[in-house]
Chain A
Amino acid sequence: MNRLTIILLLVFCPFSYLQSQNKGHFSGSFQSTSHYYVNDRILSTIAPDNPWASNNYMQLNYNWGPITAGLQYEAYMPPLSGFPYQLEGNKITNRFIRITKGIIDITAGNFYEQFGNGLILRAFESRELGINNSLDGVRVILRPAKFLRITGIYGRQRKFMDVGNNYIRGIDADILIDSLLNTSLNLKLGAGIVSRHEKYTGTLSDFPSTVNASSIRLSLNNENLEINSEYVYKSDDPTLTNQYSNKCGSSFLLNGSWFKEGLGMFMSLRFLDNMDFRSERESEGLYSMVNYLPANTRQHSYMLTNIYPYSTQSAGETSFQGEINYTFSGTGIRFNYSHAGENIMTSSGRDLYFQDINLEISKKWDTRFKTIITYVNLMYDKKLLEAPVYDFVKSNIVIADLRYRISSVLSLRGELQHLWTKQDHGNWAAALAEIGYAPHWSLFVSDMTDYQWNQNVHYMNFGLGYSSNFARISFGYGRQREGLICVGGICQRVPSYKGFNLKLNVNF
């Protein structure tokens, strides 16, 4: 009997026995994405020797009163194209036990956590990118009074399928000032500190083994207004990413929103200076991040709006975003302006990294027909954000999203998209058609082409999906474009491929 079978038996048997005795609740999920790669004559890509790749996650949770225990089993056999090769293999990667009783909430094992806006600490999982920064250790949350929350953490960060060697520890607190002052305005003051220890074995006498990042934040809100601010300071942290600079890091974030029925406005301003903070000073790319620095831009979901996605420049950046949402008599308007450039506090601030001005107008014509028209004006410094050989890209994108309900359960959706640019690959065109038959079936076909660059290349895909009460399964075939896949402000370059894909999600 192999190790996996023994583990499954040890885990399943006692839990299912307790379940049958009505002692607690068992729940879980299974997520599987598999690809079968084929040779692509047009793009001259050759399928790997083993054309199968599969990412699988099984999560099991058991809850019995104040106690919750869980584990996550992961199998990358091998990882999907674009995912780090270090993930290959299978094992129980996360396990934890959590006790929540009265003022105390204790977790031992793997846990996810975020302090404030994540500028000093965010332990999280993104399966789309193969990131799991969970901490393996202990977390204690205390709520000694209604107005006070204190969180302490100590652990080592997960590194691919194993755990890193370096320690992360931190403490964070929130005080609800309004509870103390008895005011109608909600006021919250928070502060936190995170420390990373990585042994230094070199010869420099002043090289820091321990790096500290601390933050202070204040938020206030009432019925129509919300303001949230945070200031962060990070001690000198020479790493491979910042070319072993001794410079300290800092960041300031200010978010504000004002809203009333039918109208919502949002703005965000952020400065970053040398804020890359990792559990290992030699690591690069997406992994081993201790903090979370998402792009301060609008996150788009249409195909052509994601050709030039922005990724945060943690070395130095000023970013601003403003957004308005307005609805009146069946019409919705969403306007967003996002801008990112040099840090104006430490440089001239003249260099523009990214700018996105977009307007979306949705109109419900009657109970059956709805349209969403989107215009995007986008500027993208590809030479800075990807590689020096590229140009600065200026583009305009127009999207028409048309939705028609044939009956109460049968619907059609069509997307027509066009991107105009004189740089990079030139113009792009894309289209999508989708038919839905609620509550189970959906079928789509899409195509995307950079027709000025290469007329013969069509990134065509089709897919069929079926949903039931506890499961969703989808099957597809097509060609994936080479490019950046981004979640938050974190991006990963994925190679082009052609092949079949099968996705299964079960929740029980």
Chain B
Amino acid sequence: MKGIVLLVLSWTLFSLCNAQTSLPEIRVKTTNGKEIKLSDFAKSGKPLVISFWATWCNPCLEELEAIADCYESWKKKCDFEFLAISIDDSRSSGKVKSVASGKRWPFKVLIDENQEIMKAMNVSEVPFCFIINKKGVAVYRHSGYIPGDEITLLKEIKKVSNE
């Protein structure tokens, strides 16, 4: 009996490893208080990069600052959309626009105040980065930030962009 159970679970886990993640039909808040479906961003036909961050998370700020520094040159190399989704709760969500403007970030910033999108995308800690391909499927994930991760990120965006 144990053998059958193991076989079924192995088959299941194998299919999980090949699983494709679509963007949830959940609405995310823009910095001007409006709501927009996250899945709408995948309709542009461009690769979509999503980075989950928070104003109190030092590695998140370091990662986004590194990306902001190279953002213009990246955009010249490949066409993609970048979303920085803040998971700040009501303690600090009011600071999100102030921090993003103060740091001159050139990309779109959105707010997931009750971490609904974060949960729907199975993210349990920040920073966490996804690349969603043109079909709306998550093809790259990365947890944490080590200086230099942005180089791998660019390589992966290029790969997805050329698909």
Contact = CB atoms under 8 A, between A and B. Distances in A.
Nearest to A435: B146
B122 A61 contact: yes
Given A26-B19, A122-B114, A332 B103 contact: yes
A264 B101 contact: yes
A281 interface: no
Contacts of A469: 140-142
A266 B5 contact: no
B95 interface: yes
Contact of A124 (B9, B115, B147): B115
B159 interface: no
Interface string B82-94: 0000000111101
B45 interface: no
Contact of B21 (A25, A68, A268, A296): A25
Nearest to B17: A508
A221 interface: yes
Interface in B99-124: 99-104, 113-116, 119-124
Nearest to B123: A507
A417 to B, nearest CB: 13
B144 to A, nearest CB: 5
A12 B141 contact: no
Interface in A313-360: 323-327, 332, 334
Nearest to B121: A27
B131 to A, nearest CB: 10
A20 interface: yes
Nearest to A401: B58
Interface string B135-150: 0011011111011110
A177 to B, nearest CB: 11
A228 B93 CA distance: 11
Interface string A181-195: 000001010000000
A436 B146 CA distance: 6
Contacts of A257: 94-95, 97-98
Contacts of B92: 299
Contact of A472 (B62, B95, B104, B143): B143
B15 interface: yes
A29 B138 CA distance: 14
Given A28-B122, A262-B104, A411-B146, A13 B1 contact: no
Interface stretch (A111-119, A243-251, A381-389): A111-119
A442 B115 contact: no
A410 interface: yes
Report whether over half of chain A's contact residues are helix, strand or loop; otherwise say mixed: strand
A191 to B, nearest CB: 16
Contact of A488 (B18, B91, B100): B91
Interface stretch (A1-9, A35-43, A418-426): A1-9
Given A59-B122, A508-B17, A410 B95 contact: no
B3 interface: no
Contacts, number: 213
A324 B97 CA distance: 12
Contacts of A408: 148, 151
Given A505-B143, A507-B123, A262 B91 contact: no
A439 interface: yes
Contact of A489 (B91, B103, B114): B91
Nearest to B124: A31
Given A301-B56, A326-B102, A508-B19, A114 B146 contact: no
B107 to A, nearest CB: 13
Given A264-B97, A299-B56, A505-B124, A325 B103 contact: yes
Contact of A261 (B33, B57, B104, B143): B104
A411 B147 contact: yes
Contacts of B58: 301
Nearest to A334: B102
B20 interface: yes
A489 B90 CA distance: 10
Contacts of B56: 298-301
B149 to A, nearest CB: 5
Contacts of A477: none
A294 interface: yes
A294 B94 CA distance: 13
Contacts of A442: 144, 146
Nearest to A434: B146
Interface of B: 1, 5, 8-9, 11-12, 15-22, 24-26, 31-35, 55-58, 62, 89-92, 94-95, 97-104, 113-116, 119-125, 128, 137-138, 140-144, 146-149, 151-152
12 contacts: A12-B8, A16-B11, A19-B15, A29-B122, A176-B34, A259-B101, A262-B101, A299-B92, A323-B95, A411-B146, A438-B149, A489-B91
What 5 pairs between A and B have smallest CB-CB spacing? Answer: A325-B102, A438-B148, A264-B98, A294-B91, A264-B102
